[in-house]
Each structure stands twice: as structure tokens, then as C-alpha cells.
Amino acid sequence: MPLSHDEVVHGKAPLIYKMPGDEWQKFANLRLLFGYMFMHPGNKLLFMGDEFGQTKEWNYQEELQWHLLQYPLHQSVQNLVRDLNRLFTGEKAIYEQQYRPQGFEWIDFSDVVQSVIVFLRKGKKEEDQILVICNFTPETREKYEIGVSHKGDWKVVLNTDDKKYGGSGFNDVKSCKSAKNPSHGKERSIVIDLPPLAIIALKID
């Protein structure tokens, strides 16, 4: 899943300016893109400057815009990329089977009205699972139901809308308990409020 230097040179604009919306939405979309990249199977590649939302195209004759890190939104993007790297190297569900079909399962890819997709990442052991929920719109989705198989709690390990990443903090829940309400072909389900333009990832607790 590469975002190479070819994406940010020759008049193509830096990543942050490829994003739609106002300033807040641009940064939220960038966080959403990075979260989706890291949670999806496949190797990751960000080109220099992407990790803090550089606002100029890359130029080999100039240094990166490190001074942007004095601004909270840019620093927050760098914090998110740091935590995504830690998550990617620390959770077997994400890296252990990223090149095998057994490491990925669609939960729902058909909610075109609300632009929400849900998938499961799996390690080799049954307990190594991470549920990934992506809301690709600037609208919140309250009481969104998602089918799961695991009985018990699902702990939030990533929320790109967290205030520490420059998000709105719409939903600061730390975990969700599954209930015996079938959904998406699963015996159980969780209900969660989805923040705008964000990814929430949960693991079996």
C-alpha cells in the first residue's frame, strides 16, 4: 500500500491538500487514510513529510517543513503515525497473516448509504483479532451495530478521532461488550457510536 514520492511531486500537491473539506476535515481525512493503510493487509510506505502533513510538494533541493510540528494539527498527525507503527509491529492480528487470505475477513462492505466498511484482521491464534470500522463521511453514526463472534469485551486500540490526534473526541469509549443479537451473519454484535471521518479499531480483551 505505497504512497511514494510520485504522489507528492510534479504538480500533484502534498497529501494534505488532496483531501476535501475545510482544514479540520482535511486533517481528519489524512488520519483516516493513514489508519486505513495501516489496518489493511499489505506493506506500508509513506514518503518523507507525509507523516506530519507537509504542506509543500517534496523538493530534493529543500529540507522538509519541520517547523510545521509547532502547530498542533501537524504534531497530532505525527503522533498518530507513531502509534500506528507501534500497533502494526505489536499486534499479531495486523502483521502475522497480512499476506494470507486467512488474515482478513469482510464483516460489511455494502453500507453504501452511510459509507461505512467493517473488516476483521486475524492472527494465527483465535484470540488474535482486531475489528476495524471505517466511517468515510463527516457525519457521525450513532448506535451502529456490527456483528462479532467473540463473547465478551472488545477494547478500543485505535481511534483516529481521538483528541490527542487532533480529532473531535466524539466517542471516547474504551471498550464495547458484545450482546447476543445476531448481525452480519454473526451470532453476537456490538453497538458503537462512530465519529466522523475516522477509523476505530478494537481487539478482543
pLDDT at 146: 97
88 to 125, 127, 196: CA distances (angstroms): 17, 17, 23
pLDDT tens per residue across span 152-174: 899 999 999 999 999 999 988 89
Percentage of the chain modeled with pLDDT above 90: 81
pLDDT tens per residue across span 69-110: 999 999 999 999 999 999 999 999 999 999 999 999 999 999
Give the start-to-end residue ranges of the domains of the chain: 2-90, 97-204
**Architecture in CATH of 97-204:** Sandwich (2.60)
CA distance 43 to 111: 27
**Confidence band for 22, pLDDT divided at 50, 70 and 90:** very high
> Got the DSSP string for 103-118?
GEEEEEEEETTTTEEE
Cross-strand pairs, 148: 188
CB atoms within 10 A of CB 159: 26
CB atoms within 10 A of CB 12: 12
**Confidence band for 54, pLDDT divided at 50, 70 and 90:** very high
Name residues whose C-beta falls within 8 Å of residue 84's C-beta, 6 or more positions apart in sequence.
34, 35, 38, 158
Mean pLDDT value of segment 6-25: 83
**63 conformational bin, left if phi > 0, alpha if psi -120 to 50, beta if neither:** beta
Phi, psi of 69 (to 5 degrees): -70, -10
pLDDT tens per residue across span 173-192: 899 999 999 999 999 999 99
Between helix 23-39 and helix 72-90 the angle, nearest 10°, is: 10
Mean pLDDT value of segment 30-34: 96
Does residue 5 register a pLDDT over 70?
Answer: no
CA distance 154 to 203: 5
Pairing of strands 45-46, 2-3: parallel
